[in-house]
């Protein structure tokens, strides 16, 4: 190999030099305001990073030791591709599981026991080689009794427990935060002891999905996941379970979200934090034995334009795999609002197949290593999560803080900030608050997205589980109900004149704006001048007419449009796309009722239009 340095004649460029050059290109604009953005976690993201930003970041530097790099039969690395099977009838569930394993290429099955106390394991697992694929379970009626029964079954079948892989979806504290059901640590200890003979089966899952589905930020998700773990260690000590046994039997199961780079950094940060926590408890465990699972969350899913959920799931799966997960459970795109179909279940499995078989994500280990941005982001998340984790521990731990309502309050603040950005459409949810499919009509418009909220137990506030864009889904569903009952859907007409480029741009914006509320968008009308546009658009059968043109045209003649329009149709709503500040008051006096633009809170504005149209607001 040649030792010649090809770029030795180029001097290194410092970060300060890059910033100076960027500031020069901004022609005097403020670098911080233009290119630096603030996260929901409270820290800044720079437009670029260099090796200088990695100086002194010890935890990230040491993260590489946590990844097993030995070549194996399955490639550089592997992960279990899980599919979920609902168990209503053991024989039927068995057939579905076998088909998923044999025909659809699943590596593992998660049997959803749906709260059942007893399960016919002989029928459920018939033909399934438990030692050859991962078998996991969730929603067992009594996790302790079920785990004992499962391992009694395995021993009776002579299965080598060293080859048994999988997990029991068993997070009593997490369940308590969403249902109010008190954790049973005695039952949990029973499950851990029953599974302890199988080193690759985890009877305790520390789940972050309740936080994700409630709208938490990444710092909170990581910190509270760790805080739950330490509470388990403390609570289980009284049941005769040591810290080492907890770590050996625990697997973090993280809810996935759609912020691509943050998700990659989240999984990497979790691994580093988990290893550091293990070291503090002196477990002596090999960092390479830490296994991390990932599952779909509810927060990022949308009920409208549901096929977009497939793209969201693909993004989530990619970031989870690149972040180093060992188990991946991608939910069907329709699972939060209807019974998944055979098609949606197959597509969910295929996402992992595509990542592995066509994109070769299994051929590389920790590909994010060395990325200045992701490494910096990983370390910052570690730092911020540790701060919050320590603060939570100092205040009595996760359970105590949740019982006091402090955890919920912290998450609610972030959720409100996210919802505010969604309402203003700063955060786009394709098909919901941006780019709606206006031809889509739901069969059941009364059902909003997300899971039904649990009745709040006395003295305890539960974490909600909702779609991020649920307010927009409910907004549109109110229009759907109105159209169903009244037989008429509100119509919006886009009236353009003047500058062709600007009238088209503002017509597109306006159609998108009103379309998210489920209003019918009529084809754009183009007129020779403002007065003609006002008079002619007043004749159109539409409750709302939007003026679409340039700011210069608005200053010159939008008032003529408004006067002509209101003279012919005084009861119709006239809206102007844009906000020409110098003439706003004049235009209001001429008859313009409202203005829509990128800074408007779209959710509140559209609720206002619904009220004016007689559409009931809950």
Contact between 245 and 196 under an 8 Å Cβ cutoff? The reply is: yes
- Give the integer Cα–Cα distance in Å for 422 and 41: 17
Q: Do 32 and 158 sit in the same domain of this protein?
A: no
Q: Do 166 and 72 sit in the same domain of this protein?
A: yes
Say which CATH number the domain at 189 has.
3.20.20.240
Q: Per-residue pLDDT for 58 more than 90?
A: no
Residue 213's closest CA among 397, 447, 450, 18?
450
More confident residue, 543 or 51: 543
Q: Which residues contact 248 (CB under 8 A, 6 or more apart)?
A: 196, 199, 283, 285
Residue 52: what pLDDT?
Answer: 87
Q: State the residue for tokens 């008051």.
A: 585
Mean residue pLDDT across the chain = 93
Say which CATH number the domain at 599 has.
3.40.50.280
State mean pLDDT over 220-237.
98
Using one digit for the tens of pLDDT, what is the confidence trace for 422-435? Answer: 999 999 999 999 99
Residue 221's closest CA among 381, 62, 379, 373?
381
Residue 469: what pLDDT?
Answer: 94
Q: Do 72 and 221 sit in the same domain of this protein?
A: yes
Q: Do 116 and 22 sit in the same domain of this protein?
A: no
**Beta strands 250-256 and 491-497, pairing class:** unpaired
Q: State the residue for tokens 């029953």.
A: 194
Using one digit for the tens of pLDDT, what is the confidence trace for 312-324? Answer: 999 999 999 999 9
Q: Is residue 212 part of a domain?
A: yes
Q: Is residue 51 part of a domain?
A: no
Q: Do 337 and 220 sit in the same domain of this protein?
A: yes
State mean pLDDT over 198-211.
98
Q: Is residue 165 part of a domain?
A: yes
Contact between 526 and 503 under an 8 Å Cβ cutoff? The reply is: yes
Residue 441 pLDDT class (50, 70, 90 cuts): confident
Q: Is residue 64 part of a domain?
A: yes
Radius of gyration in angstroms for the set of CA atoms belonging to the chain, rounded to a whole number: 28
81 φ/ψ angles, rounded to the nearest 5 degrees: -95, 105
Contact between 31 and 22 under an 8 Å Cβ cutoff? The reply is: yes
Query: Looking at the 3D structure of the chain, how many domains does it have?
Result: 3
Q: Is residue 410 part of a domain?
A: no
Q: Is residue 315 part of a domain?
A: yes
- Give the integer Cα–Cα distance in Å for 256 and 242: 30
Q: Do 21 and 92 sit in the same domain of this protein?
A: no
Residue 2: what pLDDT?
Answer: 61
State mean pLDDT over 209-225.
98
Residue 443 has, within 13 A of its CA and on its CB side, a CA count of: 2
The domain in which residue 585 lies consists of: 488-612
Using one digit for the tens of pLDDT, what is the confidence trace for 90-106? Answer: 999 999 999 999 999 99
Q: Do 145 and 23 sit in the same domain of this protein?
A: no
Residue 145: what pLDDT?
Answer: 96
Contact between 83 and 100 under an 8 Å Cβ cutoff? The reply is: yes
Using one digit for the tens of pLDDT, what is the confidence trace for 118-176? Answer: 999 999 999 999 999 999 999 999 999 999 999 999 999 999 999 999 999 999 999 99
Which residue, 356, 389, 422, sits at the end of a domain?
389
Q: Do 23 and 81 sit in the same domain of this protein?
A: no
Q: Is residue 598 part of a domain?
A: yes
Q: Do 109 and 35 sit in the same domain of this protein?
A: no
Q: Is residue 432 part of a domain?
A: no
Q: Do 33 and 137 sit in the same domain of this protein?
A: no
Q: Which residues contact 444 (CB under 8 A, 6 or more apart)?
A: none
Query: Which tokens belong to 385?
Result: 């999560």
Q: Do 230 and 286 sit in the same domain of this protein?
A: yes
Q: Per-residue pLDDT for 488 more than 70?
A: yes
- Give the integer Cα–Cα distance in Å for 42 and 218: 11
DSSP 311: H
Q: Which residues contact 409 (CB under 8 A, 6 or more apart)?
A: none
- Give the integer Cα–Cα distance in Å for 358 and 1: 31
Q: Do 269 and 210 sit in the same domain of this protein?
A: yes
Q: Per-residue pLDDT for 6 more than 70?
A: no
Q: Which residues contact 30 (CB under 8 A, 6 or more apart)?
A: none
pTM, whole model, 2 decimals? 0.93
């Amino acid at each position: 190999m040649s030792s010649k340095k090809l770029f030795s004649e180029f001097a290194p460029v410092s970060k300060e030099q890059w910033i100076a050059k960027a500031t020069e290109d901004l022609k005097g604009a403020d670098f911080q305001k233009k290119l630096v953005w603030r996260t929901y976690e409270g820290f800044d993201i720079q437009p670029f990073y260099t090796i200088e930003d990695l100086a002194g970041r010890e935890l990230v530097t040491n993260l590489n030791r946590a990844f097993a790099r030995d070549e194996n039969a399955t490639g550089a690395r592997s992960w279990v591709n899980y599919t979920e099977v609902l168990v209503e009838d053991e024989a039927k569930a068995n057939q579905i599981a076998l088909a998923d394993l044999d025909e659809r290429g699943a590596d593992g099955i998660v049997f959803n026991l749906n709260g059942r106390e007893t399960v016919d394991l002989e029928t459920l697992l018939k033909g399934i080689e438990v030692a050859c694929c991962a078998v996991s379970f969730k929603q067992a009626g009594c996790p302790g009794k079920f785990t004992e029964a499962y391992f009694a079954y395995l021993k009776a079948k002579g299965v080598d427990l060293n080859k048994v892989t999988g997990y029991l979806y068993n997070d009593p504290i997490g369940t308590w935060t969403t249902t109010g059901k008190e954790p049973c640590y005695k039952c949990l200890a029973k499950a851990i002891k029953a599974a302890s003979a199988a080193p690759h089966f985890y009877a305790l899952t520390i789940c972050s999905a309740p936080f994700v589905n409630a709208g938490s930020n990444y710092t909170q998700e990581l910190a509270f996941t760790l805080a739950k773990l330490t509470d388990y260690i403390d609570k289980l000590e009284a049941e005769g379970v040591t810290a080492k046994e907890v770590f050996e039997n625990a697997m973090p199961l993280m809810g996935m979200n759609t912020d691509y780079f943050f998700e990659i950094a989240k999984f990497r940060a979790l691994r580093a934090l988990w290893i550091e926590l293990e070291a503090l408890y002196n477990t002596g465990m090999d960092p390479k034995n830490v296994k991390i699972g990932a599952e779909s969350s509810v927060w990022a899913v949308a009920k409208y334009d549901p096929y977009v959920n497939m793209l969201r799931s693909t993004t989530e799966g990619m970031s989870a795999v690149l972040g180093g997960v060992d188990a991946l459970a991608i939910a069907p795109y329709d699972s939060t609002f209807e019974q998944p179909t055979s098609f949606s279940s197959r597509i969910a499995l295929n996402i992992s197949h595509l990542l592995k078989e066509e994109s070769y994500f299994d051929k590389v280990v920790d590909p994010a290593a060395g990325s200045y941005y992701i490494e910096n982001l990983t370390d910052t998340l570690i730092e911020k999560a540790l701060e919050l984790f320590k603060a939570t521990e100092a205040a009595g731990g996760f359970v105590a803080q949740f019982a006091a309502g402090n955890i919920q309050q912290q998450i609610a603040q972030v959720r409100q900030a996210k919802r505010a950005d969604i309402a203003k459409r700063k955060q786009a949810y394709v098909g919901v608050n941006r780019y709606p499919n206006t031809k889509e009509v739901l069969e059941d418009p009364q059902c909003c997205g997300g899971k039904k909220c649990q009745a709040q137990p006395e003295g305890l506030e539960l974490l909600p589980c909702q779609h991020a864009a649920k307010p927009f889904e409910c907004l549109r569903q109110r229009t759907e109900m109105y159209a169903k009952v009244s037989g008429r859907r509100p119509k919006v007409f886009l009236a353009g004149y003047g500058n062709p480029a600007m009238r088209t741009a503002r017509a597109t914006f306006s159609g998108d704006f009103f379309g998210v509320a489920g209003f019918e968008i009529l084809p754009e009308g183009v007129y020779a001048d403002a007065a003609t546009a006002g008079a002619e658009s007043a004749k159109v059968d539409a409750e709302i007419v939007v003026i679409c043109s340039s700011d210069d045209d608005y200053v010159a003649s939008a008032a003529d449009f408004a006067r002509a329009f209101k003279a012919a149709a005084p009861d119709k709503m006239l809206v102007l796309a844009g906000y020409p500040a110098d003439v706003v008051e004049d235009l209001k006096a001429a008859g313009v009722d409202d203005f829509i633009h990128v800074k408007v809170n779209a959710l509140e504005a559209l609720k206002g239009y619904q009220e004016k149209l007689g559409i009931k607001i809950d």
